[in-house]
Amino acid sequence: MTTLKKLGSAVLGIILLAIIFLAKGGDVPSLLRDLGLSHLFESKAASTFRETLQHSESGGEAAARTSKLASSIDCINRVDGPMQANAEAYRRSVPAAFTGGPIIHRSFKIVPYEVDYQFIEACTTELREATSTSPANEPLDAAAMEYASALNNLIPVMREVDDYLTQETYRDDDWRLMRDKLHPQIINLFEAFLPASEKLRREIDGANLTLTMERLAEIERSNGRDSSWHQMNLMYQARLVFNLIVKASKQNGLAVERISSAEAVFEDALQSARNVMAKDPDVRTPAGNRPVLFYIEPRAVNFLTAIRTLRRDLMAGQREKMAEDIQRMTDAFNTMVRDYNSRIKNGQ
């Protein structure tokens, strides 16, 4: 009987790990970190990544800048998106729930298995540690500190709100505590957090684009425009196009000519990458893998298709489709970025 219990526990553990693995989108390093086992990954891929940076032609300063920026990017990728979604779900729940509306929001946890906001707190710690490392980047460091403070200030109130909702305390006090205290507090804190999020993303984006340009120049000097150059250039051009279109849409400045110009630039980058792939379809990296370029090329095609759909609908005067088209483009871009980052992070 004891043996059967042990076997059942082992099977249950494997199932739980599988569920968490799928929830993390197959991101092994992030999964290990969340389970407190990051040292298993650190000893291999992370140390290799650091060694690559340290021996790159751009020298120690570029390596330090890259490493520092990576901490901020990792935090934003893991925490900020879910926090934005939670804020939106909360706003759709409250205050409508006060008068009998549906309770769409139940928890501010960024993943179901998070314990006491440990991942959110880890993000604030990572950001503060990154700001203290060299070289200094005053705008980025200031934005990171502002974001960390805004995020940290949310934690105790999120804890109260989550307890209130999960324990259904509103059934006892007819929403009095939420209406009089918790709701005004959480709204004020999110009004500070959301602009801090936008500012940090803007600074990260600018610093990341600068580093990417430098890295592209370095690769071209060393190896010419090989597959590694083209895969990075595709991501770089995708980011430029995405930023341009999103900014124009927010400023009500979407124009067919602007989208057509951006579309042509990205199409040219994609075609150049395809030409390189066609010349050597069996190319392998030093580790024996197919270059990441071969995997992100279909993602780039989807992104280009989404841009074209947006441009065509705009040309047809179908502005009612703009929000849907931009969301489709955003989803295609994010999928491309996630796939690229996951493969690079896993040492492919």
Over residues 85-122, the pLDDT tens digits come to: 899 999 999 999 999 999 988 899 988 888 999 999 99
Cα of 163 vs its chain's centroid, Å: 28
Helix (H), strand (E) counts: the chain? 15, 0
Angle, helices 322-345/293-315, rounded to nearest 10 degrees: 170
Give CA–CA dist 101/95, Å, rounded.
8
Give CA–CA dist 197/168, Å, rounded.
30
- Please give the residue that has the higher pLDDT: either 2 or 262: 262
Eight-state DSSP code of residue 69: H
Over residues 10-41, the pLDDT tens digits come to: 444 444 444 444 444 444 444 444 444 343 33
Question: CB neighbours of 50 closer than 8 A, spacing ≥ 6?
Answer: 63, 67
Among 14-18, 35-39, 142-146, 220-224, whose mean pLDDT is lowest? 35-39
- Give the type of residue at 54: Q
Q: Among candidates 137, 136, 154, 130, which has minimal Cα distance to 80? A: 154
Mean of pLDDT values over 269-289:
93
CA distance from start to end of the chain: 44
Whole-model pTM: value is 0.69
Tell me what pLDDT residue 30 has. Answer: 44
149's enclosing H/E stretch is: helix 138-166
Tell me what pLDDT residue 50 has. Answer: 38
Q: How deeply is 249 buried, as exposed, middle or buried, from its count of CB atoms within 10 A (0-12, 13-18, 19+)?
A: middle
Mean of pLDDT values over 237-257:
90
Give CA–CA dist 79/76, Å, rounded.
5
Average pLDDT of the chain is 83
Over 109-134, what HEC string results? CCCCCCCCCHHHHHHHHHHHHHHCCC
What band does 218 get if pLDDT is binned at 50, 70 and 90?
Answer: very high
